């Protein structure tokens, strides 16, 4: 019987492991090798140049600017998204007068908040290009007295990107936290309400601690999203990460160097650096979020 079951397991695992090895592991190994060459993508024999790409990378101001933007997003995207999503989820689920149900119309809001999640990212980017249009044709600028260059002013552009990212992500976390809140027994809220807890202390003393696990997961996901930002920046901004590199991110620089400049070796070196950043983030996330769980 044991023999049969191991054959069963191997039978199921062989194909996925093989596919994984060919399409994930092997390209990885190759990317590390390509990073050590000056391959330009169209010839058959990359020339080995050692660590030259990495040496250049350390002096590449634009790449470090991109790293800085990713770091900023890594901090702000989770904080803002989780904060807003928690607030909305709280209102939708236990924010009502009684303390055990949502505010009026919560069912409609839940659908409305989730809406951005359903839209393809390219559509979101194209949509916000119009919203942010710098002349009176723009949705926001049509009501402002003085037009603001949301995407054309280098001091503002990155904040506009952050706004779009938050707008797009919040809906999903509202649903995630709503599910988390629904699994918290109602009597805990009722008990706290009977003891005279205000909505604020209800949120901070009951909801937040009991949701901690869900928030952790959300934080890791958003951290990944912040390091992985690409499509919104690439599609929405001028000069793909501009104006003047004011919104560029690591993924955009990798794409630009690989597919615009045909410097695949250099772009792979960036990919390798990004890989180590990601592993570093993951390790850090594990360290920081280690916390005991409340059982109920």
Looking at residues 56 to 95 of the shown chain, list those that interact with another protein (rule: CB under 8 A). Answer: 56
How near is the Cβ of 98 to another protein at its closest, in Å?
29
Instruction: Please answer whether residues 68 and 153 qualify as being in contact, where contact means their C-beta atoms are separated by less than 8 angstroms.
Output: no
Binding flag, residue 279, another protein (CB under 8 A): yes
Binding test (CB under 8 A) with another protein, winner from 133, 189, 206, 233? 133
Q: Which residue has the tokens 């005991």?
A: 292
Q: How many residues bind another protein (CB under 8 A)?
A: 81
- Restricted to residues 145-174, the positions that interact with another protein (CB under 8 A) are 147, 149-154
Q: Which is nearer to another protein, 93 or 141 (CB)?
A: 141
The token pair that represents 107 in the structure block: 């069912």
Cβ atoms within 10 Å of 228's Cβ, excluding its own: 15
Binding flag, residue 283, another protein (CB under 8 A): yes
C-alpha–C-alpha distance, residues 92 and 180, integer Å:
12
Helix (H, G, I), strand (E, B) or coil at 201: helix
**Alpha carbon 206 to its chain's center:** 27
C-alpha–C-alpha distance, residues 180 and 238, integer Å:
40
From residue 208, how far is each of 90, 103, 285 by CA, in Å? 10, 18, 19
Binding flag, residue 179, another protein (CB under 8 A): no
- Restricted to residues 193-232, the positions that interact with another protein (CB under 8 A) are 213, 216-217, 220-221, 223-224, 227-228, 230
Binding test (CB under 8 A) with another protein, winner from 15, 44, 108, 143? 44
How near is the Cβ of 248 to another protein at its closest, in Å?
10
Binding test (CB under 8 A) with another protein, winner from 41, 106, 117, 140? 41
Helix axes 26-34, 264-288, angle to 10 degrees: 120
- Restricted to residues 239-258, the positions that interact with another protein (CB under 8 A) are 239, 242-245, 251, 254-256, 258
């Amino acid at each position: 019987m044991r023999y049969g079951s191991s054959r069963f397991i191997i039978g199921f695992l062989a194909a996925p492991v093989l596919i994984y090895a060919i399409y994930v592991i092997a390209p990885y190994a190759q990317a590390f090798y390509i990073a050590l060459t000056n391959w330009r993508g169209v010839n058959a024999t990359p020339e080995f140049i050692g660590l030259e790409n990495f040496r250049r990378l350390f002096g590449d101001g634009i790449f470090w600017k991109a790293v800085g933007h990713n770091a900023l997003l890594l901090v702000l995207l989770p904080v803002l998204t989780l904060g807003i999503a928690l607030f909305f989820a709280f209102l939708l689920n236990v924010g009502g007068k009684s303390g055990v149900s949502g505010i009026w119309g919560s069912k409609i809001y839940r659908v409305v908040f989730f809406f951005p999640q359903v839209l393809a990212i390219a559509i979101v980017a194209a949509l916000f290009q119009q919203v942010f249009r710098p002349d009176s044709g723009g949705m926001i600028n049509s009501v402002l007295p003085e037009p603001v260059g949301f995407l054309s002013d280098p001091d503002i552009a990155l904040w506009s990107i952050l706004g779009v990212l938050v707008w797009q992500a919040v809906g999903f976390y509202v649903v995630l936290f709503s599910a988390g809140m629904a699994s918290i027994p109602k009597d805990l809220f009722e008990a706290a309400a009977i003891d005279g807890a205000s909505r604020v202390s209800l949120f901070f003393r009951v909801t937040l601690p009991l949701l901690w696990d869900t928030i952790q997961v959300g934080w890791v996901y958003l951290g990944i999203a912040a390091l992985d930002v690409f499509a919104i920046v690439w599609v929405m901004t001028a000069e793909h990460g501009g104006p003047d590199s004011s919104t560029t991110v690591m993924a955009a620089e990798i794409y630009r160097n690989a597919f615009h400049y045909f410097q695949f070796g250099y772009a792979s070196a960036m990919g390798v650096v990004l890989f180590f950043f990601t592993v570093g983030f993951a390790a850090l996330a594990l360290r920081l979020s280690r916390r005991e769980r409340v059982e109920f």
